[in-house]
Amino acid sequence: MRNAALVLGIIAGLVGMVVGFFSYGYTAFIDQYGEIKGMAEQVANVELIRVASILSPLLAIAGGAMARARALWGGALLLLSCAGMYYAFGFNVFTMFPIAFAGVAGVLAIAAGKPDEPKAHF
């Protein structure tokens, strides 16, 4: 289960980086060039989008990387990443895979008890 959490967490982080890159770029583009009514308007909370664009994929990759050695900490980071992406970006066609992968990886990492390694976290 720890290996699955590692792989799913890293994939969630990489796909989340793509979503974050475009979200951050969109807010910067609107700041630079202005809004186009009905087509391209600024989001309500720009700082939330920008922070989540950087922090959520980072947490997913870090949580996935930690899942083998420290499954509880890695799982907590993965679940925080999942919640951050859902809160900032919502659940849509672009975010469904990073949110789902980070959530499943977080649950798998937390559920990884004694069977994988002799050093369990509970």
CA distance 54 to 42: 18
| Cα first-last separation, the chain | 15
Q: Is 97 within the bounds of a domain?
A: yes
Residue 117 lies in a domain: no
CB-neighbour burial class of residue 75 (10 A; exposed 0-12, middle 13-18, buried 19+): buried
Q: Would you say residue 105 lies in a domain?
A: yes
What local confidence, expressed as pLDDT, does residue 38 receive? 85
Q: What is the DSSP string of 48-59?
A: HHHHHHHHHHHH
Q: What is the pLDDT of residue 115?
A: 56
Q: Would you say residue 81 lies in a domain?
A: yes
Q: Which amino acid is at 61?
A: I
Residue numbers of the domain that contains 13: 2-34+43-111
In a domain, 79, yes or no: yes
52 occurs within a structural domain: yes
51 found inside a domain:
yes
CB 102 within 8 A of CB 81: yes
pLDDT in tens, the chain (122 residues): 899 999 999 999 999 999 999 999 999 999 999 998 888 999 999 999 999 999 999 999 999 999 998 899 999 999 999 999 999 999 999 999 999 999 999 999 999 865 555 565 56
Q: Is 9 exposed, middle or buried (0-12, 13-18, 19+ CB in 10 A)?
A: buried
Q: What is the pLDDT of residue 120?
A: 59
pLDDT at res. 112: 86
Q: Is residue 25 exposed (0-12), middle (13-18) or buried (19+ Cβ within 10 Å)? A: exposed
The answer to whether position 121 is within a domain reads: no
Please count the structural domains in the chain.
Answer: 1
